[in-house]
Amino acid sequence: MPDTGSFWIRARQVCAAVGIAAGAAAGIGWARDPGEFGFSYLLAFMFFLSLGLGALFLVMLHHLVDAGWSVPIRRVLEHLAMLAPALALLFVPIAIVAPQVYPWLAMADHPDAALESKRWFLNPAFFYARALAYFAIWSVLAWRLRAWSLRQDRSGAAECTRRMRRWSAAGMFLFAITVTLAAIDWMQSLQHHWSSTIYGVLFFAGSVWATLAWIFLAAAILRLIGPLREVVHARQFHDIGVLLLAFTLFYAYIHFSQYFLIWTAHIPEETFWYAQRGAGGWRGIGLWIVFGHFLAPFLLLLRIDAKQSMALMLPLCGWALLMHYLELAYHIMPVLRPDGFRITGLDMACLLAIDGALGAIFALFMSRHPAYPIRDPRLQEALAGAGTPPVSAPETAAEDA
C-alpha cells in the first residue's frame, strides 16, 4: 500500500506549483484584457463552485435521509464542501472585474427599461452584499457539518449524528435559496434582459450531476491508493451510479422544461437567449450537450452491471465533467464570443489556477483527518452490505486476488 502521507504532501506541492504558474499566466491575461479575463475566470470559478455546492448538498442529503451506504465517501464530500471559504477568496477577482463582465453594474446613469424594473435587485451594493451572504452561509454549513463529523470520530456520540441532522434540515432551505440566487447573480444576469424562473434549479441539477461523477472518480482513486480501500466497495460505486443516472434524467427534464416553455411562449425578451446559442459555433455545442450530457450517459447507465464496470464508469465520469464544463461555457461565454465556442490559453490558465489552489487545500484536508467517518454508527451497515468489489479494472482485480 502506498504511503498516503507522502502522497498528500506531493499532491499539495504539485497542486501549489500548478496553481502558482497558472495564476501568473492568468494575471498576465488580466493585465492585457480585464474583460476577457473576467469571463474566462468566471467560467472556471463556476465550474469548481458547482462541485463544492454539489458536495454540500450530498452531505446534507446523506444526513436527512439517514443513509448508510454513503458513509464511506462522506468525509471526502465534506472536504470538498469545506472549500467554500477558499472559493470566497477566489471570488475576489470576479468582484474586481465585475463592471467589465456584468454591463448593468456600469449602467447606473443609462436608461434601460428592463433594468429599471430590476434595479431593486440588480444594483452594485446589493450584488456584493448577496455574494458575502452566500459564501458565509455555505462556509458555516460546511464547517459545522464537518466539525461535528470530526467530533464523532473522537467520541462516537449519538449527539453528533443529531446535530448534523439538524444542521442539514435547516441548511437545505438556505442552500436552495442561496444557490438559486447565486446562479441568477453570477450567470443569468450576464444578460440582464433575459430571465428564467427555473434557472437556479438547472444550475443545481448540473452541479450535483458533475459532483457525482467527481466523487465516483475520487472514490476509485482513493480506493486504489489506500485510504478508502477497506470501506469502499461495489455497493458505493453502484449507488453513486444510480444517483448519476437519476440526475442525468433530472437535468434533462429541467433543461427541456426551460427550453420548451420559452420557445413555446415565443416572447422576444426570452427567446433571444436561445436564438443566440442556436447560431454559429454555439449550435454545435448545444447538440453536444443534448447527446453528451444526456443521451449517451442515459443509455450507458441503464444497465445495472454498467455501474460497477470501472472500464466504463471511469471514462464516463471524466466525460461528464467535460460536458459540465461545456454546459457552463454554453451559459457564460456567448456573451464574450458570440460567433462560437473556443478554448483559449487564458481559459486554461484560469481553470488550472483555481484547480491548483483548491487541490492543494483539499490535499491538506485529506492529510490531516481520517479519510472516512471512523465511528459513524452506520459504517458497519455500509460494510455489511458492501458486496463484492468491482473487478472489471485490472488494478482492482489484481489487488483483490
Task: Output the pLDDT for position 126.
Answer: 95
Task: Output the pLDDT for position 106.
Answer: 83
Instruction: Give 319's contacts (C-beta < 8 A, 6+ positions apart).
Output: 292, 296, 297
**142-145: long-range pairs with CB below 8 Å, 24+:** 142/52, 142/56, 142/59, 142/78, 142/81, 142/82, 142/83, 142/84, 143/82, 143/85, 145/56, 145/59, 145/60, 145/63, 145/78, 145/81, 145/171
Task: Output the pLDDT for position 392.
Answer: 37
Note whether residue 123 is domain-resident: no
Task: Output the pLDDT for position 401.
Answer: 27
**pLDDT averaged over consecutive 10-residue blocks of the chain (401 residues)?**
74 96 97 96 98 98 94 97 98 96 82 80 94 98 97 92 96 97 96 92 98 97 90 93 97 95 88 91 93 95 92 97 97 94 96 98 94 91 61 35 27
Note whether residue 193 is domain-resident: yes
Note whether residue 204 is domain-resident: yes
Instruction: Give 99's contacts (C-beta < 8 A, 6+ positions apart).
Output: 105, 106
Note whether residue 211 is domain-resident: yes
Residue 74: which domain range?
Answer: 4-104+130-400
Note whether residue 262 is domain-resident: yes
DSSP conformational letter for 232: -
Task: Output the pLDDT for position 25.
Answer: 97
Note whether residue 112 is domain-resident: no
Please tell me the total count of domains within the chain.
1
- CA count, 13 A, side-chain hemisphere, 59: 34
C-alpha cell at 99: 463592471
Task: Output the pLDDT for position 114.
Answer: 77
Note whether residue 124 is domain-resident: no
Note whether residue 115 is domain-resident: no
Burial of 394 (0-12, 13-18, 19+ CB in 10 A): exposed
CA distances from 252 to 152, 186, 205, 294 (A): 38, 22, 9, 6
